A and B are shown apart, each in its own frame.
Chain A
Amino acid sequence: MLECRNCGAGAPVDEHFCPQCSRILALGRHGDCFTFLGLPRKLLIDPQDLERRFRELSRKFHPDYFYNATSAERLASLERSSYLNDAYRALKNPVSRIEHLLAIEGLPSARSEEGTTKVPPSLLEEVFALNEELDEIRELREASEDSDRLLVRLANARKPIDAKRDEHERQLQELSARWDRLLAVSGVEGEPATAAEKRATLDALRERLLERNYINNLLATIEREVSGLQAHASRRGATVSPNS
Chain B
Amino acid sequence: MSKVVGIDLGTTNSLVAYADNGRPVVVRDDSGDALVPSVVSLGEEGTIYVGREAQRRLLTAPSRSVYSVKRFMGRGIEDVEHEAALLPFRVAGDPGGVVRIGIADREFTPPEISAFILRELKYRAEEHFRERGDFDFEVDRAVVTVPAYFNDAQRTATRDAGRLAGLEVLRIINEPTAASLAYGLDKRNRGTIAVYDLGGGTFDISILKVEDGVFQVLSTNGDTHLGGDDIDRLLVEQVLAEIAGPKEQDAATVEAIRRAVIQAKWDLSDIDETEIRIAPSPAARAGFRRPITRVEFEDVIRLLVERTLEPCRQALADAGLQRSDIDEVVLVGGSTRIPLVRRVVEELFGRKPHSELNPDEVVALGAAVQADILVSGRREMLLLDVTPLSLGIETMGGVVSKIILRNSTIPASGREMFTTGVDNQTGVDIHVLQGERELAADCRSLAHLHLGGIPPMPAGLPRIEVRFQIDANGILSVAARELRTGIEQTIEVKPSYGLTDAEVEQMLIESFEHAEADVEARLLIDARNEAESVMHATERVLRRPDFAALAAEQLEAGERERIDAALAELKAVIAGSDRVVIQEKTHALNHATQHLAEVTINRTVREALAGRNVKDV
**A residues apposed to B, CB below 8 Å:** 51, 55, 58-59, 62-65, 67-68, 78-79, 81-83, 85-86, 88-89
Are A81 and B411 in contact, CB atoms less than 8 angstroms apart?
Answer: yes
Please give me the residue from chain A that is nearest to B377 by CB atom: A65
B472 adjacent to chain A (CB < 8 Å): yes
C-alpha spacing A64/B383, complex, angstroms: 9
Q: Which 3 A-B pairs have the closest CB atoms?
A: A85-B409, A82-B413, A82-B411
Are B471 and A65 in contact, CB atoms less than 8 angstroms apart?
Answer: no
Are B375 and A67 in contact, CB atoms less than 8 angstroms apart?
Answer: yes
C-alpha spacing A68/B373, complex, angstroms: 11
Are B408 and A85 in contact, CB atoms less than 8 angstroms apart?
Answer: yes
Are B410 and A62 in contact, CB atoms less than 8 angstroms apart?
Answer: no
A72 to chain B, nearest CB (A): 16
A88 to chain B, nearest CB (A): 7
Please give me the residue from chain B that is nearest to A93 by CB atom: B320
C-alpha spacing A55/B472, complex, angstroms: 16
Are B383 and A63 in contact, CB atoms less than 8 angstroms apart?
Answer: no
B42 to chain A, nearest CB (A): 37
Are B383 and A82 in contact, CB atoms less than 8 angstroms apart?
Answer: no
B170 adjacent to chain A (CB < 8 Å): yes
C-alpha spacing A68/B4, complex, angstroms: 14
**B residues apposed to A, CB below 8 Å:** 170-171, 211-212, 214, 216, 370, 373-375, 377, 379, 382-384, 408-413, 469, 471-472
Given contacts A55-B211, A55-B214, contact A78 B377 (CB under 8 A): no
C-alpha spacing A64/B173, complex, angstroms: 12
User: How many inter-chain contacts with C-beta < 8 Å in the A-B complex?
Assistant: 54
Are A67 and B408 in contact, CB atoms less than 8 angstroms apart?
Answer: no
Q: Which A residues lie within 8 Å of B170 (CB)?
A: 67
Are B374 and A64 in contact, CB atoms less than 8 angstroms apart?
Answer: yes
Q: A63-B411, A68-B375 are in contact. List 14 more A-B contacts (CB 8 A).
A: A51-B211, A55-B211, A58-B214, A58-B382, A58-B384, A59-B382, A62-B472, A64-B374, A65-B377, A78-B471, A79-B413, A82-B411, A86-B413, A89-B408
C-alpha spacing A79/B415, complex, angstroms: 13
Q: Which B residues lie within 8 Å of A59 (CB)?
A: 214, 379, 382
Q: Which A residues lie within 8 Å of B412 (CB)?
A: 82, 85-86
C-alpha spacing A230/B220, complex, angstroms: 30
Are A63 and B214 in contact, CB atoms less than 8 angstroms apart?
Answer: no
A17 to chain B, nearest CB (A): 15
Q: Which B residues lie within 8 Å of A86 (CB)?
A: 412-413
Please tell me which one of the listed residues A67, A78, A79, A88 contacts residue B409 in the complex, with CB atoms under 8 A apart. A88
Are B373 and A63 in contact, CB atoms less than 8 angstroms apart?
Answer: no
Are B471 and A63 in contact, CB atoms less than 8 angstroms apart?
Answer: yes
C-alpha spacing A158/B378, complex, angstroms: 55
Q: Which B residues lie within 8 Å of A79 (CB)?
A: 413
C-alpha spacing A81/B171, complex, angstroms: 16
C-alpha spacing A86/B496, complex, angstroms: 28
B403 to chain A, nearest CB (A): 12
C-alpha spacing A58/B410, complex, angstroms: 11
Are A64 and B373 in contact, CB atoms less than 8 angstroms apart?
Answer: yes
C-alpha spacing A79/B377, complex, angstroms: 20
Please give me the residue from chain A that is nearest to B374 by CB atom: A67
C-alpha spacing A137/B384, complex, angstroms: 48
A215 to chain B, nearest CB (A): 21
C-alpha spacing A193/B228, complex, angstroms: 69
Please give me the residue from chain B that is nearest to A52 by CB atom: B212
